[in-house]
Chains A and B, each alone.
Chain A
Amino acid sequence: MATTVYKTSPYNRISRQLADYAASGLSILSTVLVVAPLVAIFLYLVYKGAGSLNLAFFTQVPKPVGESGGGMANAIFGSAVLLLIGSVVGVPIGIAGGIFLAEFGRGSRLANAVRFTADVLNGVPSIVMGISVYSLIVLPQKHFSALSGGVALGIMMIPTITRTTEEMLLMVPNSIREAALGLGVPNWRSVLAISLRTASPGVITGCMLAFARVAGETAPLLFTAFGNQFWSADLNQPIAALPLQIFVYAISPYDEWHRLAWAGALVLIVLIVVSVALVRYVTSRGVLKGAS
């Protein structure tokens, strides 16, 4: 059978060649189809957003319906507060988890379980995170609060930070650790001052990735931070957040609010693109140059 199949006839060769061309064409086409929406989204966002951005957007709070003008200063501030709380919750636990995986639990069953759980946590839908934190913090407290929103964001940051920290620490060569121990440095100091320090560009990268990811999260904030039309810096009160405000404005029927939603989306996306690009720059430079 084999001999007959592989007997080359001109027809066979042509059809194979055609299949090759077709496959190449299709994969190029699909790449174009994928790149197109991104370019479309981005250009449209810049076009709509740039037209609506002005100084008032960054300095004023939202105006009531019907009045034009106003901005999202309180939402930008609120997002900053929420992200700060999130980082305070998420970064230490995330990094410590990564240190455990890379320095203490290597290859152990516990470490595998932690790694797997972190991946599971990463896949939990953000809306589910929202209702869990709602029933954990908001219900007992009986009111929405900035604190609960920040905690929800912090929990969402943990898995990303843990996994990147682990990976970066694993790239630190053992000889460096042993050199430190050989000089009489206690293990905890060697972990913090040698391993973690060597891996710090990568660890920071991981934190920024997590940060950029939760910066745009809306769903976990719906029932925790809740949103606020006014200035608020009270951690026990509802607080505005940029993605929440964009959501509320986008589904509203008012043109003026749509305008603000576009401006907010542009601000959000610029923030995220800059941090992703920065991350990419840092990693492409070689995270642990000179170390390995």
Chain B
Amino acid sequence: MASAAGSSPSFDPADSSAPGLNKPASEISPIRKFLQSRGSSAALDKAFAGLMVVCALTIFAIVALILFELVMRSRLSIAKFGIGFFFKQAWDPVSGQFGALPFIYGTLVSSLLGLLIAVPLAVGVAIFITEMCPKPLRAPLSFITELLAAIPSVVYGLWAVFVLVPLLREHINPVLAKFLGWTGLFGGPNYGIGMLAAGVILAIMILPVISSLTREVMISVPHSQREAVLALGATRWEMIRMGVLRNARIGIVGSIILGLGRALGETMAVTMVIGNRPEIAKSLFAPGYSMASVIANEFSEASDDLYLSALVEIGLALFLVTIVVNALARLLVWAVTRGTPARVS
């Protein structure tokens, strides 16, 4: 929900797809300009404007400072291990050997697993809410999905530890092992905690992000598209597929990537259920470790400088990856919700 703040909840969506969205924004009347540039208050006005600019620039400064600090604190490990840091599997604080591969693997696998579960569900929910849902249900449903987004990560973790993990261990994992055990993905000892539990809790957590953005993108598809497809005799599903999903697909991809960004950086809930063992195992039942959770677990007990700087380097990698992922997602979502006419292909 917080990340959806970028696109106004209160704008009329029909408006935002119209070409003249910035109409009131770009025109400042000459009279106003004249009045502003004159009179005793001009100096004060300039000072005020300057103050606002400084505050806005603070945001740049913060991001720059974060980057600077991360690079500075991790230079020890960057200098020692170089690029090989990301391809090595060893994680041995005692002998001073650090490699981030198990954590990268854990983060990627748990996030992709989360996406795999969440995306179909999220798109289904968005379709239901925008295209099928009876009107009185619409507001409560979107409220509920918003609430899911507002639940703190640590509460999800708490629930996962005491409800989800036992559920997986007792009921779901045995079934998976029985029917899909031959793939090798669902074998080995079944602790409950592990990669699969992390994937499921991540799916629950990123669902609302993806579904609320997908909903927004789908709403911004003009009604004429739907009506045109219906007029050709399409069923409702064909209307959704050809009239809505096809036009909104870039935005939907954007919202999925945004969900990925969220999943990559998710810390607390994952830390509580992933098992925290720096190993790469094929089975999804096996415990793993993620980049965020290794920082959360080991940062405050990192005794020597190299250890600390290796952990900060993992943080730096996480920071850069999430920036790229988020920027990409934003651009894609903006491309759809911002006045570009729907393309018919």
Chain A contacts to B: CB under 8 angstroms: 16-17, 19-20, 22-24, 26-31, 33-35, 37-38, 40-41, 44-45, 48, 92-93, 96-97, 99-101, 103-107, 110-111, 113-114, 116-132, 134-136, 155, 158-160, 162-164, 167-168, 170-171, 173-174, 177-178, 181-182, 184, 186-189, 191, 202, 206, 209-210, 212-213, 215-219, 222-223, 226, 243, 246-247, 250-251, 258, 261-262, 265, 268-269, 272-273, 276-277, 280, 283-284, 287
Give Cα distance in the complex from A20 to B236, angstroms.
Answer: 6
Answer whether residue B1 sits at the interface, using C-beta atoms and an 8 A cutoff. Answer: yes
Residue in B36, B49, B51, B150 whose CB lies within 8 Å of A276 = B150
Min CB distance, A13 to chain B, in Å? 9
Q: Which B residue sits closest to A185, measured CB to CB?
A: B41
A167 contacts B52, C-beta separation under 8 Å? no
Whether a CB of chain A sits under 8 angstroms from the CB of B44 is yes
Assess A182 versus B24: contact at CB under 8 Å? Given A128-B315, A135-B73: no
A223 near B24 with CB under 8 A, answer no
- Determine the distance from Cα of A29 to Cα of B128 in the docked complex, in whole angstroms: 10
| B108 in contact (CB, < 8 A) | no
B211: which of A17, A34, A206 is its contact (CB, 8 Å)?
A34
Distance between Cα atoms of A131 and B9 in the complex (Å): 33
Asked whether B39 is an interface residue with its Cβ less than 8 Å from the other chain, the reply is yes
Within 107-149 of B, Cβ neighbours of A (below 8 Å) are at: 120-125, 127-129, 132, 139, 141, 143-148
Q: How many A-B residue pairs have CB under 8 A?
A: 319
Interface of B is mostly: helix
A114-B59, A217-B153 are known; give 20 further A-B pairs, CB within 8 A. Answer: A30-B123, A30-B128, A34-B125, A37-B148, A41-B151, A100-B52, A120-B63, A121-B63, A122-B3, A122-B6, A124-B63, A126-B265, A155-B62, A167-B11, A184-B39, A206-B5, A215-B152, A216-B153, A283-B9, A284-B139
Enumerate chain A residues within 8 angstroms of B2, measured Cβ to Cβ.
Answer: 122, 160, 209-210, 213
Instruction: Determine whether the beta carbon of B48 is less than 8 Å from that of A121.
Output: no
Partner of A37, one of B204, B300, B323: B204
What is B's interface to A at a CB cutoff of 8 Å? Answer: 1-3, 5-6, 8-11, 22, 24-27, 29, 31-32, 35-36, 39, 41, 44-45, 47-49, 51-53, 55-60, 62-63, 65-66, 69-70, 72-73, 120-125, 127-129, 132, 139, 141, 143-148, 150-159, 161-163, 204, 207, 211, 235-238, 240-241, 258, 261-262, 264-268, 272, 292, 295-296, 299-300, 311-312, 315, 318-319, 322-323, 325-327, 330
From the candidates A101, A184, A213, A287, name the one contacting B150 in the complex (CB within 8 A): A213
User: B66 and A186: CB pair below 8 A?
Assistant: no
- B300 and A246: CB pair below 8 A? no
Partner of A127, one of B24, B69, B258, B265: B265
Least CB distance from B45 to A in Å reads: 4
Output the nearest chain A residue to B45 by Cβ-Cβ distance.
Answer: A187
